[in-house]
A and B are shown apart, each in its own frame.
Chain A
């Protein structure tokens, strides 16, 4: 059953079309990833799913309920981890959680028990009396995730949960996300981190210019679009570039060009022959990764 069902959703900001007709289903118990460059429309889509932004067209249901009709009910079973720190700096760690629990009508004694439980899970119980300003960036992020669990959500939405974290904290957050998934929580994860998407997500949607341009498991995306090997090379001389590109085209290769480097996708049917090798100075070979797939599908150039 779909926990989130997005149908033909459009988001317009005056003249800008941020989300241009998106359809997707997040099924119960999975970790669904939304991948895309800045400005691809991920955040706009997520803001509509959490009822923080009006929908310009189409519909979104969560647990079968329309988000525009029953936002309070939907939000009472949802946890949201924002990218930006919005902890309450006037309160301590524990007070942040207890006061947040009150927004869900959780009685104080119960709120305290739950708060200590989630602090334990994120290894923050020793800092429960600390002020927010005394916490490191990593602790704040852990507390933001802990706070989103205070209402025991069935659906957790995370916006780039590990951006800017040191490796130790990043691994801790990843482990905890896996733990939450094992407990049966459905996860929607916005990310730009390919390793994160690869490790955590059961399925991924790659967004580009407000549309979903690919949707599958990370393994399947890699198998479909990654090929077997990627050759990083430059034409032997600058004036041979056009000839090299023509030769690649004739042989049916897929490639990306960034600055003056070519990233040529080899697969089981196609590998560089001697004639092409003679034209190229090969700099590196590597096994395709999700990042190559992402760059191939969304283009290597900056869009902003």
Chain B
């Protein structure tokens, strides 16, 4: 696809090697923060929340936290992480003097972003299992869903990086795009309470589908999921992957 080759794996390997070298500094992002949110919201706030059918609030939000932190992992990796490699460390400039081209770099970065989502989803899944919040083997499907979500959010984030004029621009990305999704994609409260218009609009947010499907599999009722959401995710990924390729090429091959 548009110049991407198997060589993109080399970029993925480079990022993997650096990650496993520096993983201790990554713990807050993929381990401590989701745990903190689960405890504070799930157990703290959850003590005051009564749900239908006797469901505990912590059970309600646990799958949403997998989805949300899969989003955060990919988004941080392909905004701050990628931007630092591109602009400050000039890693991309070095790589494109080898047989790799810029398309390989873009694909490698996006695949690595998706891998970060997978690692986070895996860790959070283990933690919530330890809390006894997972009751069905269907929950394992949360991992491939996280990979797809990772591809989608990495593509969006890398596109934003390719047009970002400065590292400060990411404040806009997180404040106006990522944080609203964190609150309005059905992670902390069901969207049923809103008007039908709002409910329908919320499906535009990429995280809504991810949260919905993750909740369906983790709760052990995959039939409840709105699986057509996968099509939305694939479309968004395809669009932003292509945009990232084009725009990165324009930025770096002057």
Contact = CB atoms under 8 A, between A and B. Distances in A.
A152 interface: no
A86 B89 contact: yes
Interface in A81-121: 82, 84-91, 95, 99-100, 102-105
Contacts of A50: 97
B94 A53 contact: no
A86 B254 contact: no
Nearest to B15: A90
Contact of A52 (B7, B10, B89, B253): B253
Given A13-B254, A91-B18, A104 B98 contact: yes
A82 B93 contact: yes
Nearest to A151: B98
Contacts, number: 72
A176 interface: no
B229 to A, nearest CB: 36
A75 B99 contact: yes
Contacts of B97: 50, 52, 75, 78, 80, 82
B94 A99 contact: no
B129 interface: no
A164 interface: no
Q: Is the interface of A mostly helix, strand, loop or mixed?
A: loop
B99 A90 contact: no
Contact of A88 (B10, B94, B253, B254): B94
B99 A103 contact: yes
A88 B98 contact: no
User: For chain A, which range describes its interface: under 10, 10 to 19, 20 to 34, or 35 or more residues?
Assistant: 20 to 34
User: For chain B, which range describes its interface: under 10, 10 to 19, 20 to 34, or 35 or more residues?
Assistant: 20 to 34
B221 interface: no
A103 B254 contact: no
Given A72-B99, A75-B98, A102-B10, A53 B93 contact: no
A52 B17 contact: no
B24 to A, nearest CB: 13
A76 interface: yes
Contacts of A82: 90, 93-94, 97
A35 to B, nearest CB: 22
Interface in B1-16: 5, 7, 10, 13-14
B136 interface: no
A202 B89 CA distance: 34
Interface of A: 13, 47, 50-54, 71-73, 75-76, 78, 80, 82, 84-91, 95, 99-100, 102-105, 151
Given A90-B22, A99-B17, 19 more contacts: A13-B254, A52-B252, A73-B99, A75-B99, A78-B97, A82-B94, A86-B91, A88-B91, A88-B94, A89-B89, A90-B21, A90-B89, A95-B17, A99-B13, A100-B94, A100-B98, A102-B14, A103-B99, A151-B98
7 residue pairs, one from A and one from B, having the closest CB atoms: A86-B90, A103-B98, A80-B97, A86-B94, A72-B99, A90-B18, A76-B99
